[in-house]
Structure formats: structure tokens, C-alpha cells
Copies of this chain bind each other. A is one copy, B any other.
Amino acid sequence: MEKEIFLELLEKKEYKTIKNILDVMNAVDIAQSLSELEGADLALAFRLIPKDKAADTFAEMDNAEQAYLVEAFTEKELRKILDDLYMDDTVDILEELPANLVNRILSNVSVEKRNLINVLLNYPEDSAGSIMTTEYVKLRAQDTVKEALALIKKTGIHKETIYTCYVLHHRKILGIVSAKDLLTMDDSMTMEELMETEVISVHTHTDKEEVARLFSKYDFLAIPVLDDGERMVGIVTFDDAIDVMVDEATEDITKMAAIMPSENTYMDTSVLHHAKDRIPWLFVLMFSATITGIITLKYQNLFSQMPVLVSFMPMLMDTGGNCGSQSSTLMIRGIALDQIHFRDIFKVMFKEFRISLICGAVLGAANALRVYLMHQDLLLALVIGLSLLFTIIIAKLIGCTLPLLAKQIRLDPALMASPLITTLVDACSISIYFLFASRFLF
């Protein structure tokens, strides 16, 4: 719904109409519409949302709005929302709220739930524990399909997913049963007969990126999370895994462009914050380019005698940089998707070497020809062609090895590799170029 229409309806007190509209909207879309409202309007509009969508809508709102609403809610309203929120969403919200509002929320939940929330809040930020929920369907091995269905009918409505059920014994997983099995198999079959025993699980401290990878590999709807004693403590559901996947891709892309990754969208980040995220790497890269500049000074008598040499520097440096980033980008993505590993390093280097020979030969020859046609100087053409060939070989070898090395010594390949690659490739290409030039042209 458009903001103007919304505001007008609110002002005219057409609450019935607003209710009717909200009634046929998806919670995600309602949250988006409400994001245009402020203050009292927001609280008023929130109270018009159908009861069964209020918690879902609340979970989808941004932190500033959630904070405003928590303050505006009566105790009763707050308790209702907290009852309907899934545990993972509650924890997500608490992580971002100011302390006084966190206390307000914690004082409105049962002691049991408060203890659980405190445990969940303590998991490291990027761990499976931090994105898991504790609401899932627990079954016993001797339960029949009929009993399982009866249990789900009684308790299932409060579970984040009922489509994967867990057969437990003393909190250890014996197997999993899908709702599809329960819905299509004979009523008298037991969970023991039905369950799949090959269960893939993660631990509370497993990196959430690794969890997301398992989802995309196996197409799970949910994955069980175990504690250090191998006891089941929760599940991660596919919707959270999708969010992780999108965020991780964004983070890698941002890092490859030499920007500190940010939690917020472009529009929601302030100018100052944007500048802060960008300046550090610009500084590092500027400093490294300065080194390349200083190398050129060593050869200043070459280009003061033969100024045309300077005109090939942009081409050599840019092509070297592009070749290096082609290789490093493919490595970084391959590492992120678990397709390339450190053990492949020699295979990869040999492959990149052959690729660089082809690229180098084609580009080097084309350039040599162009230089010869423009300047009618065969030796100059040879120097440019050869410099380009060697630059490309070195760029591709540096580009493919550095991300793998970074990964091996537990540095972030995307963050550490790109700037270093630029520096090294630039310095190498300029050195090669002037070495060849001084050798053949003077």
C-alpha cells in the first residue's frame, strides 16, 4: 500500500478499510508498507494488523521500528507478540535493541524462556547457535505415525517447522522423519521403521557459512544443531540459511572491491560510514601503488631519453591487474563454494600457467603488431609484446596462489588477497617492463 493512501486512511480513521487491506497482504509486504510510517502512526497501524500476522510482521521490521514499538506496547501486547515470535527471531531482535528495551522484553517472558534466550545470545555471532531456533518436533522411536500426527496436531502450531521431525532418545538423534512420510505412510508404522538414520547435523559453534553450504548441497528444509555432548539443542531452518547465503555473497563481493563489509544496505548507510568503510583499503592500495611509482623513478633516465615508453605503462599495469583479478576472483568464489581447496594448488597453478600462456601470446602478439604499426620500431614492439606476456603469466600465478595461501593460513581470501595481488602484480609488471626496455632498447 502506498504511504499517502495509508496516511490518508489513518487520518480519516478508516480503520475497517485498513484492516481489510492488511488482511489480504503478506506479512513481509505489511512490514514494508509500515516502514514508511513514523511514531504514533506506526503504533496505530501496527494495532490494525490481523492478530495472526502481527508477530511475523514485527519480525520483518527494521530495528528502529521494533524499538519504537517495544516502547509503545502495553505489557499485554508485548507478551502476546513474544509468545508468537519464534525463538531465533526473538534473539535476532534482542541483539539489536538498546539495553533498557532488552530488559523490558526479558522481564515479560517466563524464567525458562529467559534462560534459553540468554544461552542463545551467548553463541558467537557467526555460529550455527546464533541463528538456530529451539522449537522443533521431537518424536520417540516407538511412536506410530498416528501418534506422531496426534502430537503434531497438539503442539505443532508453535514449531517453526513441522516438516522435519526428530526422533530422539535422551536428547541424542536416532533419526529424522519427514512430514511427507507421516502424511503418506501407513498409520501403524513406527518412527523406528520410517526414520532415516543417516542424519547430517552441525554443532552450535559451526560457522554459519558452512551451515548455508550444507543447505545448498543437500536441499534441506532444516538441519539439526548439536552441543558438544552431541545432544540436540535446536535447528536451523532454510529461510535463515538463504539469508546467510545472500549476505555472504554480498560480503565477498564487497571485500573484493576493497570495501569493509557493512551490515546495512547502501541506502541505509550514512555518508560518513561509507567513507569509513572505503578509506582503509584505499590507503593500503595507495601506499602500494606508491611503491610501484618509486620503482619507476629508478628508470627515469630511460623515459627521459625515450618518453614513448611511459605511454605503455597504463596498458601493462591495467592488463596485469585485470589478469590477476580474473584468476583471484575465480579462486575466491571456488573456495567460497567449496569447489577449490588448498590441496589443488599445484593443479591450479599449472592450469593458470597454461591459460596465461594462451592469453599472453594472443594479447602480446596483438600489442606488438599495434606498436609496430604505430611506431615502425621492431625492437620496441618486441619489448612491449614480451613484457605483456611475462606480466600476464606472473599476474595469473600470483592471482591464483594468494587466495589459496590466505585460506590455508586462515585469513579471509577475499579480504587479504585482492589488495596484495594488485601491489605485487603492479610492481612486477613495471620491473619486467623496464628491465626488458633497458636491455633491448638502450
Contacts and interface: CB of A to CB of B under 8 A. Distances in A.
Interface stretch (A5-13, A94-102, A302-310): A302-310
A390 to B, nearest CB: 15
Contact of A323 (B282, B319, B347): B282
A152 interface: yes
Contacts of A296: 310-311, 313-314
Contact of A26 (B28, B218, B278): B218
Nearest to A27: B218
A300 B289 contact: no
Contacts of A373: none
B266 A339 contact: yes
A42 B282 CA distance: 53
Interface string A281-311: 1110110111011101100110110011011
A300 B310 contact: yes
Contacts of A311: 293-294, 296-297, 300
A157 B186 CA distance: 12
A410 interface: no
Given A319-B282, A339-B266, A180 B200 contact: no
A288 B314 CA distance: 9
For the complex of A and B, the 8 pairs showing the least CB-CB separation, nearest first, are A257-B329, A300-B307, A219-B239, A293-B311, A249-B249, A275-B358, A289-B318, A289-B315
A377 to B, nearest CB: 14
6 contacts: A156-B180, A266-B331, A286-B315, A290-B370, A297-B308, A317-B317
A49 interface: no
Given A156-B180, A216-B246, A297 B286 contact: no
A25 B197 CA distance: 9
Contacts of A330: 254, 257, 259, 266
A204 to B, nearest CB: 22
A120 interface: no
Contacts of A221: 221
Interface in A165-208: 179-180, 182-184, 197-198, 200
Nearest to A276: B358
A337 to B, nearest CB: 7
Contacts of A438: none
A219 B242 contact: yes
Given A259-B330, A322-B281, A363 B217 contact: no
A218 B312 CA distance: 52
Interface centre among A266, A422, A426 (most CB of B within 10 A): A266
Contacts of A274: 351, 355
A184 B426 contact: no
Contact of A243 (B184, B216, B265, B286): B216
A310 B296 CA distance: 7
Interface string A350-364: 010011001100110
A221 to B, nearest CB: 7
Contacts of A297: 307-308, 310-311
Contact of A282 (B215, B337, B363): B363
A156 to B, nearest CB: 5
A171 to B, nearest CB: 22
A296 B274 CA distance: 33
A124 interface: no
A392 to B, nearest CB: 8
Given A219-B239, A278-B326, A351 B271 contact: yes
A271 B355 CA distance: 6
A283 B183 contact: no
Given A246-B337, A307-B303, A333-B250, A293 B315 contact: yes
Interface in A312-349: 312-315, 317-319, 321-323, 325-326, 328-334, 337, 339-340, 344, 347-348
B329 A259 contact: yes
